[in-house]
Structures are given as C-alpha cells and as structure tokens.
Chains A and B, each alone.
Chain A
Amino acid sequence: MFEKILIANRGEIALRVIRACKELGIRTLAVYSEADVDSLHVQLADESICIGAAPSSESYLKIDRIMSAAEIGDVDAIHPGYGFLAENPHFAEVCESCNIKFIGPSSRAMQAMGDKNSARGFARKAGVPVTPGSDGIVESEQDAVKIAKKIGYPVMIKAAAGGGGHGMRVAHNEPSLMAAFHGARHEAEKAFGNGDVYIEKFILNPHHIEFQIVADSHGHIVHLGERDCSIQRRNQKVIEECPSPLMTPGLRKKMGNIAVKLAKSVGYENAGTIEFLVDQQRHFYFIEMNTRIQVEHTITEEVYGCDLVKEQIRIAAGQPLSPHIAHATPRLHAIQCRINAEDPEKDFQPSPGRIDFYYAPGGHGVRIDSHVYTGYSVPPYYDSMIAKIITVGATRINAIDRMRRALGEYYITGIKTTVPFHAAMMRSAEFRDGNYDTGFVERVMSSGKFELVAPATQLRE
C-alpha cells in the first residue's frame, strides 16, 4: 500500500481524497496556489507545498511544479481528482516515467477514450450503439443530404473542431438542411478557423444516464449501476440521482453489460464513467467516457454502500477488487444537489467572497462534501461549486423530501448560493414525478412559475 500520496487538486475533491487517505493510514501532501493558502485541504493535509500563483494555468495545471513537489515530498502516488490534469494523458505519462503511480487508468487507455472520435471508434468495434452520424467530415451539400436522409431527421450539424455550443445547428427536415449546413460551417470557420463539420442524429431532450465502472489491474471489471444527470443548466450538471427514474432492471442489465464490455475493450483500469444519451423510447447511445472519478460519485457510494475513492487507491496499489464492490447491489435512493457560489436571482452570476456564517444540515441520511467554513473566502479563480449535499432515502420520494428538509437548514451568509434554486427544484411536481430530461431546467425557469425558496430557518448567528 502507498505510504504517501500527493493530491493534485483543490476544493472539495482534494478534501475527499485526503479523507480516504487518512482512513487508509496514508500520509498526504497537498499542493496549492497562493489563493488557496487557507483552504481546508491544505490545513488538513500532513504536508503542503505552494506551487504557484492563483490562476490554474500558473499552479494546478503546472505539471513540472507538481512533479517537483512530488519529488520533494517523496510520494508514491498522485491522485488527480477531477478536472485540472485528471484526464491529461501527458500528465499520466509523466507520472509513469517518474515511477510515481497515477491513481487512474493508464495514459494509453486515457488517450483511447479521451478523443471523442477515437472513443466512438472503440465503441463501434465493441458493438456499442453510438449516436448515428457521419463517418467523418461532411464535405459537400450532396453528402449532407444523403447522410441526413440515412440517419433520419432531426439531425445536428456539429463543428469537428468545436466546443462550447458553437458551430452547431439543428435541421428538422431536408428544406432546412442547407441553411443549417452552411450556417454551421460559417460559424465554425469564424469561431475555430476550421469550417469542418460532421452530422449526428439530434436527440430531442434526452436523458443523460451514465454508468459507473470499476476495474482492477487483474482484469476484473464491474459496473455499479447508473446515475441520472439530466438536470442540467447550460450543459452543467446541477442535480444527480441514483438510480435513474427512467431505468428498468432489464435496461440496466443491458446498458451495464455494454459499459463493462467497452471498458474491457480498451483495457481500462481504476474508476471510470460511461455516458449515454437515452431517448423517450429508451433507445440508448454512447456519447463519451470519463476516465476519472466524477463529482457525482457520491450518490453511487450511498446507494451501493462503498467508498469509491478508497477503492481507487487500493486498485492503484495493485489490490484486486474488494468483494463488497465486486458483489455490490443497490439499496436506497440517493440525490445530490451541487451548491454553487452563484446568485440564482441574477442569472446565476458568480458570487465569490467571504462566507460570514456557514451552517450545514445534518441528521439521518444527509451527507455534505464541502471544503468551506465560516470565515472562508471563496476565490474567484476556480469553479463556483462550494458544496455537494447528498440525501439518501428508502424511496425516491423519501430522498427528495429529506433533501427539501435539509436545504431548509442550509444557512450560508456573506455570499449568494444556489440553495434556494435547489429548494425550489425539490418542490417541482415534474421533478417529483421523475418526469424530466436535459431540457427541464430551462423549461421550468422560463415558465414564469419558478420561485426560489429561501431557507425557512433564520438562524441567530
């Protein structure tokens, strides 16, 4: 087992990893930027080293400084968390060449699944359904018409070099295809200097359902069921739940087996997540694989009764899959709300600054993963998530009502947070019915009937 681990991350996930290490008796080394001097992960780690100025590009993304810190700290392994360098194959490679164990998959597996096109290729080879689409770049109008006809409308024309929702157009029928085709190419050329586009089937308001994979270094791979992450705002997940209200035991078995098959085909090791889009008729399509631990790993832990981060460390240390993971079965229902330092009344604009008073809810079935505390200043340089609140219940409605109760006690002053937004979501009839998709948040918020719910308790500070 490792003696010392360097955590190449910050915020709540750094704290999560430190907690797992402490329980395994492993010493911890935190690296931090100048903006994170007072961060909880720095204070709780056994050792800490400042690696740069506030901007991520000057600190958390500086591979050379992190490896230097690893060398000075004489660590055996590095946990990359999520984001930052967690899915950077070059970083994984550097760790490998320095004989420091990267807690995650090999750089090779990461590379295979990291490239969207490559991942689709592996999926196709493994017989995994992918979103029907063109085999590559669509060069001409005639090709566009032919491909769209084959896939079936509606189709989406997407920039190959694209991202951020740019260079994308939807065409619902052949007459509108040309305008969409040229519009997408023009926008892509302007935004990315590259007008290459490909065509994919457009799935209207799908469910985003992902499967948790855990694989050891001895060839054992299992899945720990699914998470429904359809509740998104501007393509950012805000609420996740396990299991998915859309899932049936038969579909879970089918999708789970396919997820395992795909992970096996690239020789995957450690924790990973396979993402699918599921349409209203329960047809599912592979979209991508995340080769890291995810923000929402927590709800799988609560439902399947396991510690995924500890398991990551064990797997990296060469141990076989723990029996309780290999034979895990789901019980209970879990929901997670991501609490961000944003103002829901002002279009969710970021609200960094000093937290004057912080009281987190507790009680049966409530879990808080957070690095903030009274007096802590949320820095403006990183993502705005300050806490994850997870509730567990015997049934889905139990979990929702428990979340509603807990959010009513979540008292944070000094900055604005999305607590009132989540409280309103827990009261939404459609959400309670399990009747939602990725278009849900936008629909509900623009319906004019959405009202934020401030915490009921006004604690005397």
Chain B
Amino acid sequence: MELKEIKEIKEIIDLMKKNGLSVFEIEKEGFRLKIQRAVPDETTTSAPPAAPSSPKGATIPAEPTRAQRAAAETKALLKDIVSPMVGTFYRAGSPEAGPFVDVGKTVNEDSVVCIIEAMKVMNEIKAETSGVIAEVVAENGKPVQFGQVLFRVR
C-alpha cells in the first residue's frame, strides 16, 4: 500500500475516533474499504438473567426435574454469535489449520471465532461477546445467511 493511502486511512481513523464512529465503509470502482473500530463498553456488562425461580410458598403444577431446570438455566445464559454477512462458514483459517474455537474454548470480544468467505474475501469474524463456547451451530463449509446463528456462548 502506498504511503499516501496509509496516511489517508490514518486520517479516516482519527475522524472516526473524534466523532465516535465505529464503522466506516466506502466503495468505488474496483475499490472497497471497511474500517471497524472495537468500540469499548458497547456490550452490556450486567449479570446474565438468573433462571426463573418459583415465588415462596406458591405451588407449581408440574415441578421441572433437576435436569430440566439445569438445561433451562443453561439456555437462559447462552448468547448467540450470529453471522453479520452472507457467505460460506469455515471453522479454520485454512484447510490444514485447526479450528479457531471449539466447545469449551474461552473467548472475549476480539477473539476470532471463524472465517466467513464472501466473494473470495476471507472475513475473520470476531466473537463480540465473552464467555465459553457452548455449541458450534453452523456447519463447516456450508453457506450462512445474515443473522444465522454460528455459535452459542455461555
């Protein structure tokens, strides 16, 4: 990349910071640039909702089993990582490499969890949440659409 272009990109980033912008995208003939800033404190840091508990003294018709309650608790704590684009989902950076994440792996907002390939461009997808991978939902090598769930994070 030319020195001039790097300077211009630096200026864009400064402008973005100054104005509190998180995404900048420009598309012209044969040229496309997207700059995305990791804006701090965008995700809420409140505690995940507690599993519903019965009010004192009230009777519940069908008492959920311990296993069901545990599953409900888990479900309520899971966050979805969804696809921000249309493309093909890959779990690893290349056919020989190991997957970026697996069930049990701890991730934070900046962790790369997968690649979505769109129009021959390999896009690294960040978790944008923190926790532990609970489920790998999307299938390796299969197309994904916008909003499709890729992973579930506890």
Contacts and interface: CB of A to CB of B under 8 A. Distances in A.
Interface of A: 34, 49-53, 59, 63-65, 67-69, 71-72, 90, 93, 98
Nearest to A93: B29
18 contacts: A34-B146, A34-B147, A49-B86, A49-B145, A49-B146, A51-B145, A53-B147, A59-B146, A63-B27, A64-B27, A64-B85, A64-B118, A64-B119, A65-B86, A65-B118, A68-B86, A69-B86, A71-B118
Contact of A68 (B32, B85, B147): B85
B119 A67 contact: yes
Q: Give the secondary structure class of B's interface.
A: loop
Contact of B87 (A50, A52, A72, A93): A72
Residues of B in contact with A, size category: 10 to 19
Q: What 8 pairs between A and B have smallest CB-CB spacing?
A: A68-B86, A50-B145, A68-B118, A72-B143, A49-B145, A65-B86, A50-B146, A52-B146
Contacts of A34: 146-147
A34 B145 CA distance: 11
Contacts of A59: 146
B111 interface: no
B130 interface: no
A22 B87 CA distance: 26
A396 to B, nearest CB: 47
Given A50-B86, A59-B146, 4 more contacts: A49-B146, A68-B119, A69-B145, A72-B86
Nearest to A49: B145
Interface string B48-86: 000000000000000000000000000000000000011
B146 A51 contact: yes
B140 interface: no
B129 interface: no
Interface centre among A34, A52, A68 (most CB of B within 10 A): A68
Contacts of A63: 27
Contacts of B85: 64-65, 68
B32 to A, nearest CB: 8
Contacts of B118: 64-65, 68, 71
